[in-house]
C-alpha cells in the first residue's frame, strides 16, 4: 500500500505574493514566486507547496519547462495520490455533469474542464461514442493512462453508455511551452476495446437540442465542436421564430440551425472558412433545413460593411447573431480586440430595425464581462441606439466557472432588443 510521501518528490516555498495568490483561491504557482526548493522535483510529478511562513498550501504538478511552475491539484494534506484518488476525481466530474445537465445531455458535453474539475491542463469532450482529449500539461500527460481508461470504464459501468473511440487532439502550440511535442492520434489501451484509425473516419454524428451535427473531431477547430454554447443556442430559438436571421461566424452552422429549426423565416449564415461552411451545409441537409438557410463564404467584417453601404432600411435582417472566435488570447492584444468587437457590434446595431434583436458574445477570458459591457455601451453610442437587455448568459455548466480562477470564466453572452 502506498502512502502519501511515496508520491511527493519535493517541497517548494513561495514568496508572500505567491502565498497570497494561492490562499486567495487560485491554483497556479509561477516560476518567480518560488523562493526555495527542498528535495529534487521531477517534471510532471507532485510537489508540496508551502507559504512564506512555512504553512502547507497544497500539492501540485511540477514542470521546470513552464512559466506555470506548479499547477495545484489538491489542498488536502491527507490526500494520497494513488489510483483510488484519480477514480474519485473522475467519478466526481461525471456525477456533477449528470446532476446539472441530466443523462440525455451527457451524450454531447465536456466531461473534464481542466482546472475547474481539478484536472489542470486536461480537456475531455464527449461526442456520442467518441471522447476527444486535449492534454496541455505535463502532469496530465503522465497520467493519461490512468484518467482516460477510467473515463471509458466508468461511463460504461456506472452510466451504461458506450465509448469505443478516444482521440488525442494534442495539436496545440501550448504543449511546446510545457516541454511536450504536438500530436494527433487515436488512443488505445489494453482491455478497453477501443477503435483504431483503420476503424474510424474521424467524424461522428451527435444530437444537441434536437439537431443533428456531423462533427469532424480530427480536423475541426479545437476538439471538433463548440459545446459551451449548447444552452445559448437554445436560448435564441423563441426570438428566431418568423424572423430574418443573420448568423455571423457560423462555423459549422449551429446558431443558424437552431434559428431555422425554431421557425425563422430565413437564415443567412456567414463564415470565412469554406470547410466549415461545407460541414454546415451537410448539417442543414441532415436536419431537413437546407431550404431555410443560405450559406455565404465571406469575411464577416467585410460582409457587414457591404450591408451597411445599403443603410438600415435596405437590411432584411431583424435578428443578428455574432459568435466570433476569440479576438484576443493575451492582454497585449486586448485593445485591438476591443476595437474589433466594437466594430462588428456597432455594425449589427446599425443594421437592425427598432425592435430587432441582437445576440452577441465573446469567448476570451481576457475580454471580461466588464470590458464587454463597456464595449457594448460604446458600440450602441456609435450606432445611435439604445439596448434593452433580454438575457445575460455564460458558458454551459459542463464548463464550470471557479470564481477564484478567472481563466475558467471566458464566455460572455448577451441578447438585446434594439430600441
- Average confidence score pLDDT of the chain: 95
HSE-CB of 396 using CA atoms within 13 angstroms: 25
Output the CA–CA distances (angstroms, integers) from residue 299 to 274, 311, 338, 364, in the order listed: 11, 19, 18, 20
Q: Are 147 and 133 in contact (CB under 8 A)?
A: no
The answer to whether residue 315 scores a pLDDT higher than 90 is no
Q: Are 342 and 375 in contact (CB under 8 A)?
A: yes
Q: Of the given ranges (16-20, 32-36, 165-169, 362-366), which has the lowest mean pLDDT?
A: 362-366
Confidence of residue 329 (pLDDT cuts 50, 70, 90): confident
Q: Which CATH architecture has domain 7-74?
A: Roll (2.30)
Q: Specify the domain boundaries for CATH 3.30.750.80 within the chain.
A: 83-200
Q: Which fold has domain 83-200?
A: Transcription Regulator spoIIAA (3.30.750)
* Active-site residue set: 363
Q: Specify the domain boundaries for CATH 3.40.50.150 within the chain.
A: 204-221+228-418
Confidence of residue 198 (pLDDT cuts 50, 70, 90): confident
The answer to whether residue 200 scores a pLDDT higher than 90 is no
Q: Specify the domain boundaries for CATH 2.30.130.10 within the chain.
A: 7-74
Q: Which fold has domain 204-221+228-418?
A: Rossmann fold (3.40.50)
Mind giving me the DSSP string for 282-295?
Answer: HHHHHTT-GGGEEE
Once rounded to an integer, what is the mean pLDDT over residues 369-390? 97
User: Each residue of 102-157: pLDDT tens digit?
Assistant: 888 999 999 999 999 999 999 999 999 999 999 999 999 999 999 999 999 999 99
Amino acid at each position: 500500500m502506498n502512502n502519501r510521501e511515496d508520491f511527493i518528490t519535493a517541497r517548494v516555498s513561495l514568496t508572500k505574493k505567491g502565498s497570497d495568490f494561492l490562499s486567495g483561491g487560485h491554483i497556479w504557482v509561477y516560476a518567480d514566486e518560488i523562493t526555495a526548493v527542498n528535495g529534487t522535483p521531477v517534471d510532471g510529478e507532485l510537489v508540496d507547496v508551502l507559504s512564506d511562513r512555512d504553512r502547507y498550501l497544497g500539492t501540485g504538478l511540477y514542470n521546470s519547462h513552464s512559466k506555470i511552475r506548479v499547477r495545484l491539484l489538491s489542498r488536502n494534506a491527507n490526500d494520497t495520490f494513488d489510483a483510488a484518488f484519480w477514480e474519485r476525481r473522475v467519478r466526481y466530474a461525471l456525477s456533477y455533469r449528470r446532476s446539472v445537465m441530466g443523462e440525455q445531455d451527457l451524450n454531447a458535453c465536456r466531461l473534464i474542464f481542466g482546472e475547474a474539475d481539478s484536472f489542470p491542463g486536461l480537456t475531455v469532450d464527449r461526442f456520442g461514442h467518441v471522447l476527444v482529449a486535449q492534454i496541455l500539461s505535463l502532469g496530465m500527460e503522465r497520467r493519461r493512462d490512468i484518467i482516460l481508461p477510467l473515463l471509458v470504464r466508468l461511463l460504461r459501468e456506472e452510466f451504461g453508455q458506450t465509448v469505443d473511440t478516444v482521440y488525442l487532439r494534442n495539436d496545440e502550440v501550448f504543449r511546446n511551452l510545457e516541454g511536450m511535442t504536438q500530436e494527433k492520434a487515436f488512443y488505445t489501451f489494453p482491455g478497453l476495446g477501443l477503435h483504431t484509425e483503420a476503424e474510424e473516419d474521424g467524424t461522428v454524428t451527435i444530437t444537441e437540442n434536437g439537431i443533428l451535427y456531423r462533427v469532424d473531431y480530427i480536423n475541426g477547430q479545437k476538439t471538433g465542436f463548440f459545446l459551451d454554447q449548447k444552452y445559448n443556442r437554445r436560448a435564441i430559438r423563441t426570438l428566431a421564430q418568423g424572423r430574418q436571421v443573420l448568423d455571423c461566424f457560423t462555423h459549422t452552422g449551429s446558431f443558424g440551425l437552431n434559428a431555422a429549426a425554431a421557425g425563422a423565416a430565413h437564415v443567412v449564415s456567414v463564415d470565412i472558412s469554406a470547410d466549415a461552411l461545407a460541414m454546415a451545409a451537410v448539417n442543414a441537409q441532415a436536419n431537413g433545413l437546407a431550404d431555410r438557410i443560405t450559406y455565404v463564404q465571406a469575411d464577416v467584417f467585410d460582409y457587414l460593411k457591404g450591408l451597411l453601404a445599403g443603410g438600415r432600411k435596405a437590411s432584411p435582417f431583424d435578428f443578428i447573431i455574432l459568435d466570433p472566435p476569440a479576438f484576443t488570447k493575451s492582454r497585449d492584444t486586448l485593445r485591438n480586440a476591443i476595437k474589433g468587437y466594437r466594430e462588428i457590434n456597432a455594425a449589427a446595431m446599425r443594421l437592425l430595425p427598432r425592435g430587432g434583436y441582437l445576440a452577441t458574445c465573446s469567448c476570451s477570458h481576457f475580454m471580461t464581462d466588464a470590458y464587454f459591457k463597456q464595449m457594448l455601451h460604446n458600440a450602441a453610442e456609435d450606432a445611435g441606439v439604445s439596448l434593452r437587455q433580454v438575457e445575460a448568459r455564460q458558458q454551459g455548466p459542463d464548463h464550470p466557472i471557479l470564481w477564484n480562477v478567472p481563466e475558467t470564466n471566458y464566455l460572455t453572452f448577451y441578447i438585446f432588443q434594439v430600441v
